[in-house]
Structure 1
Amino acid sequence: MVRTIRWTETAIEDLNEAARFINRDSPYYAAAFVKEVRKAARSLDILSERGRVVPESGRSDIREIYIKSYRLIYQVKTRKVFILALIHGARDLASLWKKRSDEYQL
């Protein structure tokens, strides 16, 4: 089944923040990273079940794929995939998840 990909505002902010951080050292690698993240997100239209379940979420519909050292976190629905966050792997996702779960209406 082909699903529509939708980015949340928070996920867009996460991507922009990561790009700004990488851009401090290399504009080239920042642009390449953004391109790679967008390509990975687009691939979820068909391969939405490929990511692993996010342990911190406790839900089977919340999945993630790793891109470099970042976790692209998304929710799989019947006809859509919602990109919820792009979080550096070193960050404490459990506490961040608590803060953001109301926003995601999970």
Structure 2
Amino acid sequence: MDKTITWSEPAKEDFRDVVFYLMRDSDVLAENWLEELDHALLLLGKFPEMGKMNPEKEVRFIREIFVGKYRIVYSDLNDVITVLMIRHQSRPLGKIE
């Protein structure tokens, strides 16, 4: 059974920022990233441990996957996956909320 995927408020803001940033360069680039994200989240719902443990946080239930040049950081607790943040791979994570 697929796990439910939810988004934290900071992750929703990150998502909007990434999409607007990509759209400044190219609508096609943004659409391609959105399709890749959608596919990655579909797989994540089926295989929540597919992401690697986050080396900066070293907590077993916080993991990350990469979509393009962006890190999708999520938690996997109690049959719910929560997207915590989206960061460009060149940026440090900072505080996870």
Tell me if TM exceeds 0.5: yes
* Unmatched runs of 5 consecutive residues or more in structure 2: none
Asked if the contact 1:6–1:80 (Cα under 8 Å) also holds between the matched residues in 2, the reply is: yes
- Residue 27 of structure 1 aligns with which residue? 27
After superposing on structure 2, the runs of 4+ consecutive aligned residues of structure 1 that deviate more than 4 Å are none
Alpha-carbon separation, structure 1, partners of 2:11 and 2:38: 11
* Unmatched runs of 5 consecutive residues or more in structure 1: none
- Residue 47 of structure 1 aligns with which residue? 47
Number of residue pairs matched by the alignment: 97
Amino acid at match of 2:69: S
Asked if the contact 1:53–1:62 (Cα under 8 Å) also holds between the matched residues in 2, the reply is: yes
Percent of matched pairs sharing the same residue: 31
Give the TM-score normalised by the residue count of structure 2.
0.90
Superposed CA deviations along residues 20-63 of structure 1, whole A, max 9, x for unmatched, are 11111101111221222132123211110011000111201000
- Residue 69 of structure 1 aligns with which residue? 69
- Residue 36 of structure 1 aligns with which residue? 36
Amino acid at match of 2:92: D
Alpha-carbon separation, structure 1, partners of 2:31 and 2:92: 26
Asked if the contact 1:5–1:42 (Cα under 8 Å) also holds between the matched residues in 2, the reply is: no
Alpha-carbon separation, structure 1, partners of 2:80 and 2:64: 15
- Residue 6 of structure 1 aligns with which residue? 6
Alpha-carbon separation, structure 2, partners of 1:13 and 1:39: 20
CA RMSD in angstroms comes to 1.3
Amino acid at match of 1:57: K
- Residue 17 of structure 1 aligns with which residue? 17
